[in-house]
Amino acid sequence: MKIRNILASALVVGSLMASTAFAETVVKVTLIDKMGTPDLSKPLGLGMGMKADMSTAKMGININPKTAAPGNVRFDVTNLASNLVHEVLIAQITDENQLLPFDQGRNKVDEEAVRSLGSVSEIDPNKTASLTLDLKPGKYLLYCNVAGHYMAGMWTVIEIK
Amino acid sequence: MSTLNRYNSVVLSRRNLLVATAATAAAVAAVALSTEQAHADDAQTDLSKLPRVKQKLVAPPFLPEHEQVVTSGPKIVEVTLTIEEKKVVIDNEGTEIWAFAYDGSVPGPMIVVHEGDYVELTLKNLPTNLMEHNIDFHASTGALGGGALTKVLPGEEVVLRWKAIKPGVFVYHCAPGDVMIPYHVVHGMNGAVMVLPRDGLKDDKGNPLKYDLAYYIGEQDFYIPRETDGSFKKYESAGEDLSDSLDVMRTLIPSHVVFNGKVGALTGENAMKAKVGDHVLFIHGQSNRDSRPHIIGGHGDYVWETGKFGNPPEVGLETWFIRGGSAGAALYKFRQPGIYAYVNHNLIEAVLLGATAHIKVDGTWNDDLMMQVSKPGPMKA
């Protein structure tokens, strides 16, 4: 029995690894800081759906590629900021014009109203972390919800199709 | 279902960060202090009265226009370096890196001043860049070589002035902190400064030396990550390679060691040129790793191996040693025409990894120095 169990589990692991290797899409995510030290005490108005001039963003998220096939998507997140700790939350959205529920007082997206599918929390500067999600077709928001960061422009959208 | 893992851990990173922060704070404090002291015993230079000149920087291996000997007083030499994160090809097989390039070149341009001059640098970080950068001048004094005072985010610029008090050739490089220091340096973010004595170069007995030409050879070690099939990885934007690069860097085994940013950048059509009788000054910089320049078929007549003109040059050298994190200078008069190879005489690095340049020398052959007495033929019994 024991040996059979071991064999069986080895088989399961083997097939999991094989399917992961075939199905997984890798998306490189970089977290960046731009001009100056922004005052994050008040929302800067650069959130999704706000039609702001994103060239004035003080922070940002870059992704490559910008679309991925449905299935397992591995986000390799690198924090290129030199001082700031960032995080990445992922949530499904209807489209980029949507406004997110926002807590003005805390200067954060209302995480209770926006269901997160997964997150990479507290990535120190120059560090990398990864997150794998099984994603269905649709649009997904990647954003940082450290106070003020989302409204400073720290979000992007990936399309799964 | 989600899985979270952190596959890139640098064990001492927090401590490193703290140490670096403390060092920065101390450096800044020291700057404030020294400024006060300078004002206190200031019979010093009134900077407002000094002439200002703009130096037009040029891409290596060339040097900006400059005088070797100056008779006038100190100047403020204004230079601008614009940092560009750009994808460059580093060999003939199409291997790529997202380089961090001062003024768009690897290495960055050479700055030339005289002892006692001031370098006034405007450092610009293009808004399209993704990372913070700065500059540490080994030729300067204080604030981590200016590194603590020059941190600029994309879209920012900063102006730093420093006095050139040590004559010699020196490297400069980016040093933003923590793992980013070596990461930026091995992504091409380095260059060199030459601080000439006001009365020019001297030989080992104190007699004046002049050069007819000068070339700056910036040696660069690259650590390009590979795919599982062994081919070099490609990335869509700067910084995506951070984690993979650090893994390769930890091996200390470079994938490429090149001059002027690319295998073959100074060979064939791109060879450095000279004429028989020319005295050529070769400045060799390596910001990260040791090197050992050698001119195949020639020598170093006068070599400042450590690159500092306050010391007498060594004479008649075969190969000289460049310590990682320094620049050295060698003056050589070409006595024969032909193609000379200028190599890093770790020949594996020269031939397999790319550290070879050529010098094409025109002129008349001197049989006295060398001649082929008989052509190859069957061995005589």
Give me the active site residues of B, please.
133, 136, 138, 173-174, 184, 189, 294, 318-319, 345
- Segment B349-376 mean pLDDT: 98
- Quickly state the pLDDT bin for A36 (edges 50, 70, 90): confident
pLDDT in tens, B277-326: 999 999 999 999 999 999 999 999 999 999 999 999 999 999 999 999 99
Report residue A22's pLDDT band, with 50, 70 and 90 as the boundaries: low
Selected from 3.40.190.10, 2.60.40.420, 3.30.460.10, 1.10.101.10, the CATH number assigned to the domain covering B214-362 reads 2.60.40.420
Q: Say which residue, A58 or A138, is predicted with more confidence.
A: A138
Distance CA A153, CA A34 (A): 10
Min Cα separation B1/chain A (Å): 6
A33 contacts B2? CB cut-off 8 A: no
- Interatomic CA distance for residues B114 and B116, integer angstroms: 6
Distances (CA, A) of B236 to A29, A30, B109, B114: 11, 11, 26, 42
- The residue of chain A nearest to residue B242, with distances taken between CA atoms, is A78
E strands along A83-127, which residues?
86-93, 102-103, 108-109, 118-123
Instruction: pLDDT band for B14, please (50, 70, 90 cuts).
Output: very low
Give me the amino acid identity at B149.
L
Flag whether pLDDT at B17 surpasses 50. Answer: no
On the question of pLDDT at B217 being above 50, the answer is yes
Q: Does residue B228 carry a pLDDT above 90? A: yes
| Torsion, CA B99, CA B102, CA B104, CA B106, rounded to 10 | -60
Chain centroid, CA B9 distance in Å: 30
Residues 22-81 of chain A with CB under 8 A from chain B are 28, 30, 32-36, 55, 62, 64-65, 76, 78, 80-81
Instruction: Give the minimum alpha-carbon distance from A1 to chain B in angstroms, rounded to a whole number.
Output: 30
Q: What is the pLDDT of residue B43?
A: 52
Q: For residue A47, what is the DSSP state?
A: S
Say which CATH topology domain A24-160 has. Answer: Immunoglobulin-like (2.60.40)
pLDDT at B41: 44
- Tell me, yes or no, if A21 comes closer than 8 A to chain B by beta carbon: no
Which CATH number describes the domain made up of B50-198?
A: 2.60.40.420
pLDDT average, residue stretch B76-86: 98
What distance in Å separates the CA atoms of residue B59 and residue B107, rounded to the nearest whole number?
8
Distance CA B84, CA B152 (A): 12
**pLDDT confidence bin for A37, thresholds 50/70/90:** confident
Q: B10 with B179: CB under 8 angstroms? A: yes
Domain spans, chain B: 50-198, 214-362
Residue B243 at interface with chain A, using a CB cutoff of 8 Å: yes
Rounded to an integer, the average pLDDT of B93-118 is: 98
pLDDT in tens, A90-108: 999 999 999 999 999 999 9
Confidence bin at A15 (pLDDT 50/70/90): very low
- The ipTM is 0.80
Q: How far apart are CA B279 and CA B151, in angstroms?
A: 39
Predicted confidence band of residue B381 (pLDDT cuts 50, 70, 90): confident
What does the pLDDT look like over B243-252, one tens digit per residue?
999 999 999 9
Kind of pairing between the strands at A138-143 and B201-202: unpaired
d(CA B1, CA B91): 43
Distance CA B222, CA B345 (A): 18
